[in-house]
Chain A
């Protein structure tokens, strides 16, 4: 079964750090570009970051640039998001999503992990 499973969410104080993980299974993870997308409570979807299959190309939304770092380990079929200097406005469900191989759309999504930034 094709699957993405996020983990690592939780409650963190403003200014703190958190590392999210996304475990892939059922497909050739190393061939796919990956993304993080977040959704604040009751709000819409916001693209956060992109990483190419070989990690050679990385992009961030302006809202997280300089604070978040995306990475991957193809040997472990895993995607990561290191989040530093967290702010209240980073509170959201964070989804990992794969970029489809032949079309520019997110075809596989994880179930999401909740990050709450609060004192």
Chain B
């Protein structure tokens, strides 16, 4: 089974800061990776699909990159409404899906 790791597990940053989260797969998954945002008490929301494609309606300060085993999710300028936990999700072995453990983002 493919294992996913994320780092850091949590971070605290100031409004306007650039925030970067990494996701690593235990084996090559090409670009079969999505990113979700989950705010407290809410359902997850799709932000990025296929590693680097922005979902319709998602602000352009969110971006993703990477392929193979190493992926990066970036918020170019952190906003107060971005406080959430962010999860990567791989789908190399469709239709099975695996989520990363999540990264909690707070405002400093």
Contacts and interface: CB of A to CB of B under 8 A. Distances in A.
Contacts of B32: 104
A103 B53 contact: yes
A95 B43 CA distance: 8
How extensive is the interface on chain A, given as a class?
Answer: 20 to 34
B91 A104 contact: yes
Contact of B97 (A35, A52, A109, A110): A35
Interface in B12-50: 32, 34, 36, 38, 42-46, 49-50
A105 B49 contact: yes
How extensive is the interface on chain B, given as a class?
Answer: 20 to 34
B102 A45 contact: yes
Contact of B96 (A37, A47, A52): A47
B99 A106 contact: no
Interface string B74-93: 00000000000001010100
A73 interface: no
Interface of B: 32, 34, 36, 38, 42-46, 49-50, 53, 55, 87, 89, 91, 94-102
23 contacts: A44-B99, A44-B101, A45-B44, A45-B87, A45-B89, A47-B96, A47-B98, A47-B99, A61-B96, A99-B95, A103-B53, A104-B34, A104-B50, A104-B91, A104-B94, A105-B55, A106-B36, A106-B89, A109-B43, A109-B45, A110-B43, A111-B43, A112-B43
